[in-house]
């Protein structure tokens, strides 16, 4: 648990009266929340509560699904993500994402990391080299792979592959890092490494993490939001949520009475 209560920070993302539908089915009901910058915000809640849906709306990943619609708004630095002038590609350059199942490309470690730079049209060799080193160091992977940057990414262990995915997500220096259950497919040791990494990364990035693991939320997040049946039940400092939850549902969930 973080030693001291975090000082307050300006909000980077504002979710305003946001509702979301997959066709007929409504997944998110009127959520209103603000996510501060350079903090780790955890989204918790039982399966199907809409936390992943909310996360995937922050880089408009849900646009890929047919028949979705939304009401309300999500603003990044005050600008609506759904503004017609916002290009989804440039949005995703500012909002990196790490997925539940590590999914490196069938390329070398090096090419995996520079992918976001390459698609952005940058091909200056020294710039790419520099980004690889910086991203891999930030992802605490550099020392393990620096001698085999041009080997296939599939030669790495699961934990290493997930850290590679984190390096890939931060290579182009986004402002926000979205993590969708990043440790769900990893063993406890690899999970611990990723958690240390998350704590380290928050000085540079604003992190939103979806997790099923209560200990993980208490270990590495500053703010926690509890979602249930598509509604935001409680949102506050992690210490407060886990020590003095104000809603009975929250308490029931975090003490493991239902999931």
Partner 1 sequence: MQPGFPNTDTPFATTGRSRRGEPWVWLTAAGLTLGVAMALGLFLLILVKGAWSFWPRRIDLMEISTNGVIEKIAGYVTQESQRRDDEGVFHEEIQIFRGNKDLSGEAFKFIDRADVVKTSRPESLLLIERLEYGPAIVHGVALVTPGGRIDVSSPDFEKTLSQTLKDGAETRAQLLRIERKQIGAISREMEALGRAERSGTVDAQTAATRNAQLQKEFEARQAEAAKLRAGLAESSFIGITADGREVTFPAEKLLGVFAANRAGFGERLAEMGHRIWKFLSEDPREANTEGGVFPAIFGTVVMTLVMSLFVTPFGVICAIYLREYAKQGHLVRVVRISVNNLAGVPSIVFGVFGLAFFVYFVGGGVDRMFFADKLPTPTYGTPGILWASLTLAILTLPVVIVATEEALSAVPRGVREAALACGASKWQTIQRIVLPASLPGILTGVILAMARGAGEVAPLMLVGVVKLAPSLPIDDIAPFIHPERKFMHLGFHIYDLGFQSPDAEAAKTIVYATALLLIIVVVTLNLAAILIRNRLKKRFAVSSF
List of residues contacting partner 1 (CB under 8 A): 59, 61, 64, 66, 89-90, 92-93, 96-97, 99, 101, 103-106, 115-116, 118-120, 152, 154, 165, 168-169, 172
At closest approach, how far in Å is the CB of 211 from partner 1?
18
CA distance 250 to 255: 8
At closest approach, how far in Å is the CB of 179 from partner 1?
11
At closest approach, how far in Å is the CB of 147 from partner 1?
20
CA distance 180 to 99: 5
State CA 51 to chain mean position distance. 11
Q: Which is nearer to partner 1, 39 or 168 (CB)?
A: 168
Burial class (CB in 10 A: 0-12, 13-18, 19+), 15: buried
Q: Which is nearer to partner 1, 166 or 233 (CB)?
A: 166
Backbone angles phi, psi at 9, to 5 degrees: -130, 155
Query: Angle CA(170)–CA(171)–CA(175) in degrees, nearest 5?
Result: 40
Count other Cβ atoms within 10 Å, centred on residue 34.
Answer: 15
Q: Which is nearer to partner 1, 118 or 146 (CB)?
A: 118
Q: Which is nearer to partner 1, 176 or 225 (CB)?
A: 176
At closest approach, how far in Å is the CB of 8 from partner 1?
30
């Amino acid at each position: 648990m973080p030693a001291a209560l975090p000082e307050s920070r300006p909000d980077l993302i504002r979710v305003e009266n946001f509702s979301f539908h997959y066709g007929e089915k409504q997944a998110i009901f009127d959520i209103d929340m603000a996510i501060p910058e350079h903090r780790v915000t955890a989204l918790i809640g039982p399966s199907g509560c809409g936390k992943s849906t909310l996360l995937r709306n922050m880089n408009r990943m849900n646009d890929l699904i047919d028949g979705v619609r939304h009401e309300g708004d999500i603003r990044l630095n005050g600008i609506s993500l759904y503004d017609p002038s916002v290009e989804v590609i440039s949005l995703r350059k500012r909002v990196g994402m790490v997925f539940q199942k590590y999914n490196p490309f069938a390329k070398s470690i090096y090419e995996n990391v520079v992918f976001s730079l390459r698609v952005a049209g940058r091909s200056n060799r020294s710039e790419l080299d520099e980004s690889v080193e910086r991203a891999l160091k930030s992802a605490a992977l550099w020392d393990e792979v620096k001698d085999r940057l041009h080997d296939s990414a599939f030669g790495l262990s699961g934990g290493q592959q997930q850290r590679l995915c984190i390096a890939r997500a931060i290579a182009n220096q986004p402002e926000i890092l979205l993590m969708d259950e990043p440790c769900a497919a990893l063993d406890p040791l690899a999970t611990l490494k990723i958690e240390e990494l998350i704590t380290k990364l928050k000085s540079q990035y604003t992190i939103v993490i979806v997790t099923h693991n209560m200990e993980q939320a208490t270990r590495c997040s500053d703010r926690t939001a509890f979602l249930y049946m598509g509604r935001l039940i409680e949102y506050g400092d992690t210490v407060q949520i886990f020590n003095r939850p104000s809603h009975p549902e929250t308490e029931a969930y975090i003490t493991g009475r239902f999931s």
